[in-house]
Amino acid sequence: MRIKNAAELFRNDLNENQLILRKVAIQGLEIAIGAVKPKILVENSIKVRNNSLLIQNDEYKLSNYQKIYIIGGGKAAAEMLFSLESILSKVEKLDYEGIINVPKGSVNSKMLGGNKIKINYASHPIPDENGLNGTKQMMRIIEKSQKNDLVFCLISGGGSALLPLPKRGISLEDLQKVNTLLLASGASIDKINIIRKHLSDFKGGNLAKKVYTTSRATLISIIISDVVGDKLDSIASGPTIPDNSTFTDAIDILTEYNIYEKIPMSVIHHLEEQLLDDYKETPKINDECFSNVHNYLIGSVKSAVCELKSFLENQAFIVKYFSKNMNGEAKEYGKSLSAIISPYLETLNKDIKIALIGTGELTVTIRGNGIGGRNQEMLLSFLNNIKSKKFQYNFSILSANLDGIEGNSKAMGALADNYTLKQMISRSIDTEKLLENNDSNKFFKIVESEIVTGPTGCNVNDLLLILLQSKEL
């Protein structure tokens, strides 16, 4: 079991029905995580046969390439790399090298050994010097590539922070300040990444442009999605994907969230100068730099939902995938959750159990200095909103970031149910104060229903699982 605090979650004072629902929810979470493990996703999508590399429906004859380079980054990049190296090791006399950037602490030492590719540990969600140095090494690799070489770019969520390469004139410190302001603003990841693209020489299709202007080598991106709708241009800010956003969009977003006048002058000067020069825009869909670029989406939260749905149906639940696009402010979404659940309660009886699945990514506007994350804040807001209501049914709601860490907490999310609600009321916990301070993790620690795994090596959308059961059993 990946859940480190399972003993807390399966506590002795739960009644039988509450315990059963918790066990189903936690087992479902384990299955969901297993379904999106990068090793599985890579092995399902990439094969080697007769000295050819088969990626989904395409074939690449390895004899056509002189050398292979592997670069990239993200929360799932390490496991992606290990699986890709295992596949490539089946080909005799294959020459390859490279470097990837991954979060500190994301690689178990047992996973290392015999790897040709350098693992560079960098910071997330705020970029650091290690990330910058690693990205510069990747660009130096590109600079020595030749036309008959093959460049793999491994991309997953988190790559935007892990692969910093600010435009000339913008310091790493300036970039860090912009990222800090954006992450606290409540802006969606799509909007945040539009700004990141326009401050980077790596993101927003600029990696593809660098490969094209240097060597025109074949560039293959292997991508795992962590964004709503699987928008390739937003995953890790799309280093190998055409960008349809503009400098005007970036300035408008910074203005919309009242950040523009707070960002460093170097960033303002860069944005305003580039605004007047279309040539300096990020490469668009008709740019020739994408003529030898091949992008493959090999996994997303859909894989987790498919396996989870099958498991729940085997547990005699009626399953509804009610939302593929959870977004917006976590606190507001939590307030609306009871309204989402309400229509399904009419069909509950002793013979019918219902499971609702939602996926997406909520946002949190930071106003306090507490510890928490978007899933925990959403669940706390839900509990705060229903504390005066009477419940004639059993519920167990789990919401989690499948990569294992969310916000500034050590939890991946939390679980809320009838027992949690009872604890909140009986202990007179001031949930309003906790919400005001963005201190949701404190609440779930008190009631012992935070979910702790540590980094899972996965990186897809967040998962919300709602289990409903009649009390008339």
Residues 331 and 397 in one domain: yes
Say how many CA atoms lie within 13 Å of 341 toward its Cβ: 24
Residues 15 and 129 in one domain: no
Residues 17 and 55 in one domain: no
Within a domain: 228? yes
* Nearest-10 crossing angle of helices 265-274, 247-256: 140
CATH number at residue 411: 3.40.1480.10
Residues 158 and 232 in one domain: yes
Contact 352, 370 (CB under 8 A): no
Residues 448 and 343 in one domain: yes
Contact 43, 69 (CB under 8 A): no
Residues 21 and 57 in one domain: no
CA distances from 314 to 36, 64, 307, 359 (A): 20, 48, 11, 21
Task: Tell which of 299, 325, 344 closes a domain.
Answer: 299
Domain containing 332 equals: 6-36+302-470
Task: Give dist(CA 194, CA 339) in Å, integer.
Answer: 33
Residues 439 and 455 in one domain: yes
Contact 164, 131 (CB under 8 A): yes
Both structure tokens of 402: 């499948």
| Number of other residues whose CB lies within 10 A of the CB of residue 108 | 11
Residues 111 and 237 in one domain: yes
Which residues fall within 8 angstroms of residue 183, CB to CB, at 6 or more apart?
A: 125, 126, 192, 366
DSSP H stretches of helix in 89-245: 129-143, 159-162, 172-185, 189-197, 206-214
Instruction: Read off the pTM.
Output: 0.89
Residues 346 and 434 in one domain: yes
pLDDT 10s digit of each residue in the chain, 473 long? 789 999 999 999 999 999 999 999 999 999 999 999 999 999 999 999 988 999 998 999 999 999 999 999 999 999 999 999 999 988 888 889 999 999 987 776 556 656 789 999 999 999 999 999 999 999 999 999 999 999 999 999 999 999 999 999 999 999 999 999 999 999 999 999 999 999 999 999 999 999 999 999 999 999 999 998 899 999 999 999 999 999 999 999 999 999 999 999 999 999 999 887 777 899 999 999 999 999 999 999 999 999 999 999 999 999 999 999 999 999 999 999 999 999 999 888 878 999 999 999 999 999 999 999 999 999 999 999 998 887 789 999 999 999 999 999 999 999 999 999 999 999 999 999 999 999 999 999 999 999 999 989 898 999 999 999 987 65
